[in-house]
């Protein structure tokens, strides 16, 4: 049985939570390998809705869950999330959750700097969540970060805070924002340490043992390929690499362990925050997609921008991330539309291209080239077999396969975990 890596193939919010939850029933361990609490997964189980940001979705299935070294962790946010899901009846303990000792911590000054910078950008805001993810990754690559393992070494914390606050307080003061007192931050970290450290270990070692024992590992990505700091619509991206290759480095396993790469895409397209969105709809159709799809960010609550499915962009995501199978979610949101459109490429000036360019000006100038297809008036909601789908819905999905040059593995027809059409079981490879 193969391991599976799940990643978003658009700009995030594709419904990865439900897919990971469904796959977790077939896995032994679920690993989160990048991002921070700027990402969110919503899982609907019967009458209960779970909103997860840092915790892997496998907790809902009672599986062993791992937060890898590629994740940046806000300890306050983590403990608050643990308390929240425990109140909903989930079991979270060192027996069900393990945290990489070499993961980087998000501290209060990271969020403060994130928000102050965004405010200073004025009309050129990137659209960050203001939760400190970017500044925490900056500290990581600048080699001044405080990591989870440092919570066990008070002397190390003390010395590292000197350098960290020298850097951040200087920046905060230059932006007119309040600065931070070392002793206050140190005291809070020392108070949090006993609550965090019982979960901590070198998770790479545990994952290696599980792999050698033949256990099935599910790697759970956050955000999506087009928000990748290298391959996305830069600078309107997240601060980490979101492509499937990051599953290896962000969990501490070899690339051969990643397994089958499953990409998630909505049957239409959405985006939260700023940045280019060639197929965006500013009319009643776009508004209707948002209303029927309940398109609000899990973490931010911000309304998502909505548009037609961008096959050119998804094809690009598939190529750069090695996606082997596609999951199409929220197909039922398109029910009742008489006409659908697929973006097949872009016109930039007098040129036609089939991928989003890297340059900001070129991205902003990209005009979508649409192909029109018939919609369907009968419902696809809660369908569980391919044969039950309306013929026009099947034609739509087949055309997506042709345009993105990848097979569809799963189709989701409602938020319910069992309303999933299985074309190909990723764990069967």
- List C-alpha distances in Å: 97 to 66, 75, 215: 6, 14, 16
Contacts by 253-258, CB closer than 8 A, 24 or more apart: 253/204, 253/207, 253/208, 253/211, 253/217, 257/3, 257/207, 257/211, 257/217, 258/3, 258/5, 258/219
Q: How far apart are CA 30 and CA 223, in angstroms?
A: 17
- Which amino acids are annotated catalytic? 13, 41
* Neighbouring C-beta atoms of residue 355, cutoff 10 Å: 14
DSSP string across 279-345:
TB--SHHHHHHHHHTT-B-TTT-PBPEEE-EEHHHHHHHHHHHT--EEEEE-GGGGTT-SEEEEEEE
In what helix (H) or strand (E) does residue 215 lie, and over which residues does it extend?
A: none
Q: Give me the tens of pLDDT residue by residue for the chain, a chain 429 residues long.
A: 589 999 999 998 898 888 888 898 889 999 999 999 987 777 777 788 888 899 998 898 899 999 999 999 999 999 999 999 999 999 999 999 999 999 999 999 999 999 999 889 888 888 788 899 999 999 999 999 999 999 999 999 999 999 999 999 999 999 999 999 999 999 999 999 999 999 999 999 999 999 999 999 999 998 899 999 999 999 999 999 999 999 999 999 999 999 999 999 999 999 988 899 999 999 999 999 999 998 987 666 778 999 999 999 999 999 999 999 999 999 999 999 999 999 999 999 999 999 999 999 999 999 999 999 999 999 999 999 999 999 999 999 999 999 999 999 999 999 887 899 999 989 886
306 touches 281 (CB < 8 A):
yes
pLDDT at 41: 74
105 touches 147 (CB < 8 A):
yes
Helix count and strand count (H, E) for the chain: 12, 20
Residue 282 burial (C-beta neighbours within 10 Å; 0-12, 13-18, 19+): exposed
334 touches 268 (CB < 8 A):
yes
pTM for the full model? 0.93
382 three-state secondary structure: coil
- List C-alpha distances in Å: 317 to 225, 238, 283, 295, 348: 6, 15, 27, 22, 20
Contacts by 295-298, CB closer than 8 A, 24 or more apart: 295/13, 295/270, 297/13, 297/40, 297/272, 298/13, 298/17, 298/40, 298/41, 298/42, 298/51, 298/53
Alpha-carbon radius of gyration of the chain? 22
pLDDT at 226: 96
273 touches 127 (CB < 8 A):
yes
In what helix (H) or strand (E) does residue 100 lie, and over which residues does it extend?
A: strand 97-100
* Neighbouring C-beta atoms of residue 341, cutoff 10 Å: 19
Q: Which domains does the chain have, with CATH numbers?
A: 4-103+214-260 (3.40.440.10), 104-196 (1.10.300.10), 264-428 (3.90.170.10)
* Neighbouring C-beta atoms of residue 234, cutoff 10 Å: 16
Closest CA to 279 of 344, 224, 216: 344
pLDDT at 211: 94
Closest CA to 427 of 81, 30, 18, 82: 30
pLDDT at 299: 64
pLDDT at 300: 66
* Neighbouring C-beta atoms of residue 214, cutoff 10 Å: 8
pLDDT at 75: 97
């Amino acid at each position: 049985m193969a391991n599976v890596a799940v990643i978003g193939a658009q700009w995030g919010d594709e419904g990865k939570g439900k897919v990971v939850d469904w796959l977790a029933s077939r896995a032994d361990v679920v690993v989160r390998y990048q991002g921070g609490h700027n990402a969110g997964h919503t899982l609907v189980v019967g009458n209960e809705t779970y909103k997860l940001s840092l915790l892997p979705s496998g907790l809902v299935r009672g599986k062993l869950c791992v937060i890898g070294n590629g994740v940046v962790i806000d300890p306050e946010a983590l403990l608050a999330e643990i308390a929240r899901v425990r109140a909903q009846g989930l079991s979270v303990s060192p027996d069900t959750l393990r945290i990489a000792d070499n993961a980087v911590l998000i501290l209060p000054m990271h969020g403060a700097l994130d928000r102050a910078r965004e405010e200073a950008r004025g009309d050129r805001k990137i659209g960050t969540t203001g939760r400190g993810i970017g500044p925490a990754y900056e500290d990581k690559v600048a080699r001044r970060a405080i990591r989870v393992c440092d919570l066990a070494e008070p002397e190390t914390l003390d010395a590292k805070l000197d350098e960290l606050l020298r850097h951040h307080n200087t920046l905060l003061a230059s932006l007119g924002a309040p600065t931070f007192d070392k002793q206050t931050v140190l005291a809070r970290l020392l108070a949090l340490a006993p609550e965090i450290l019982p979960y901590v270990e070198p998770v790479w070692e545990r994952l290696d043992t599980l792999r050698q024992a033949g256990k099935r590992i599910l790697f759970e990505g956050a955000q999506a390929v087009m928000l990748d700091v290298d391959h996305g619509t830069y600078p309107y991206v997240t601060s980490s690499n979101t492509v499937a290759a990051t599953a290896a480095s962000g969990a501490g396993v070899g690339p051969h362990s990643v397994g089958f790469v499953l990409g998630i895409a909505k049957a239409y397209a959405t985006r939260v925050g700023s940045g280019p969105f060639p197929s965006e709809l500013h009319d009643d159709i776009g508004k209707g997609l948002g209303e029927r799809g309940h398109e609000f960010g899990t973490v931010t609550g911000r309304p998502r921008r909505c548009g037609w499915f961008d096959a050119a962009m998804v094809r690009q995501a598939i190529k750069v991330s090695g996606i082997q199978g596609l999951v199409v979610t929220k197909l039922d949101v398109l029910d009742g539309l008489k006409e659908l459109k697929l973006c097949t490429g872009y016109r930039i000036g007098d040129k036609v291209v089939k991928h989003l360019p890297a340059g900001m000006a070129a991205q902003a100038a990209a005009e979508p080239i649409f192909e029109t297809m018939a919609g369907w008036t009968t419902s696809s909601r809660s369908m569980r077999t391919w044969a039950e789908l309306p013929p026009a819905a099947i034609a739509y999905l087949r055309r997506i396969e042709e345009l993105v040059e990848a097979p569809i593995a799963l189709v989701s027809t409602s938020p319910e975990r069992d309303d999933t059409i299985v074309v190909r079981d990723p764990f069967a490879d």
